[in-house]
Amino acid sequence: MGTVLLLEDEVGLREEIAAFLTKRGWTVSQAGTVAEFRELALQASIAVVDVMLPDGNGFEAASWLREQQNGCGIVMLTARGDTQDKVAGLGGGADHYLVKPIKLLELDAILRALSRRVVTNWRLERQAGALVAPQGSRLEVSSSESRLLELLARHPTQPVSRRQIAEILGYEWLDYDERRLETMVSRLRQRWRNVAGTVLPLKTAHRLGYAFAEPISLA
């Protein structure tokens, strides 16, 4: 099952949908504003988006997400059922346009159908301590490796400095031996190669730090 980001400003409805989807096996994150949505969007494989929001509209949020992460799934879930609104939503990047009220079982079925064709991200399972590839390969990671990967996941495809990494690991930068970080990254890459037989997309950013070249969802 994938990670679903639910953008809905009505708290009661949002929590009802989230609770239902969680029981159906989905990992659900919630946002009540466009600003919150943008912070979480790149960590989800599917987004369910309302239109009328306190700091913007869902059409723009969906269009932005499609530009940022073309392989994700997007479902518009709104009370606005005019044909013009449906055309705007689908034309802006949504895969489905659902008009409230809907049956939650129907939403679950649509998400399952959509998940079969969306591009699934890498996934860091923090509680279980594991990194999972889109193809299903899985590697248990240490707490330090998990903190490193979580930091990289919060800066998708962008380099993170060695200083940021050292500090997230709990070290004072001026006292930190960078060779420790290099060794940790090297061992992580090698263990992944041994388990999965593929190259881990954990890249060295010259004179800066490291970047994970593909989005990682946090679970």
For the record, the structure tokens of 131 come out as: 């990194």
Count Cβ atoms within 10 A of the Cβ of residue 21 and give its class: 0-12 exposed, 13-18 middle, 19 or more buried. buried
Higher confidence at residue 161 or residue 39? 161
**CA distance linking residue 46 with residue 49, whole number of Å:** 10
- Residue (of 109, 136, 141, 111) closest to 126 by Cα position: 141
Strands 73-78 and 160-161: unpaired
**Tokens 């073309």 sit on residue:** 70
Q: Give tens-digit pLDDT for 161-175.
A: 999 999 999 999 999
Is pLDDT above 90 for 120? no
Residue 74 has pLDDT above 70, yes or no: yes
Higher pLDDT, 123 or 98: 98
* Residue-level pLDDT at 152: 96
Of residues 8, 116, 123, the one with CA closest to residue 54: 8
pLDDT of residue 1: 62
Q: How many helices (H) and strands (E) does the chain have?
A: 8, 14
pLDDT greater than 80 at residue 11: yes
- Residue 134: which pLDDT band, with cuts at 50, 70 and 90? confident
Does residue 137 surpass a pLDDT of 90? no
For 142-197, the pLDDT digits (tens) are 999 999 999 999 998 899 999 999 999 999 999 999 999 999 999 999 999 999 88
Give the DSSP H/E element, type plus range, for residue 170. none
φ, ψ of residue 193 to 5 degrees: the values are -60, -40
Domains of the chain plus CATH, in order, are: 3-115 (3.40.50.2300), 122-218 (1.10.10.10)
